[in-house]
Amino acid sequence: MTETTDALVLDLVEWVAREPRPYAEVLEVWRTSCPRLTIWEDAVDRGYVARRPSVEGMRVMVTASGETFLRAHGRMH
């Protein structure tokens, strides 16, 4: 992975950590048609974020691994 991609994964995880986000919103904001920028997919594959059902519908939340990733980069709020 490139440094640019790693930085964008970090930004995505930090954004989701602020508050659980609706799945549709995450895909709208972070999904790309560029096969070289798979930020959403990379964050999921690494186990940093996960989809969870809620009363409001499917939400994206940071996992324990995601929190560890944020702490390691000084971004845990």
For the domain 3-72, what is the CATH code? 1.10.10.10
Does residue 59 contact residue 46 with C-beta atoms inside 8 Å? no
Strand order of the β-sheet with 57-62 is: 21-22, 57-62, 49-54
Would you place residue 69 in the very low, low, confident or very high pLDDT band (cuts 50, 70, 90)?
Answer: very high
- Model confidence pLDDT, tens digit, residues 19-63: 999 999 998 888 776 667 788 889 999 999 999 998 889 999 999
Parse the chain into domains and list their residue ranges: 3-72
Whether the pLDDT of residue 10 is over 70: the answer is yes
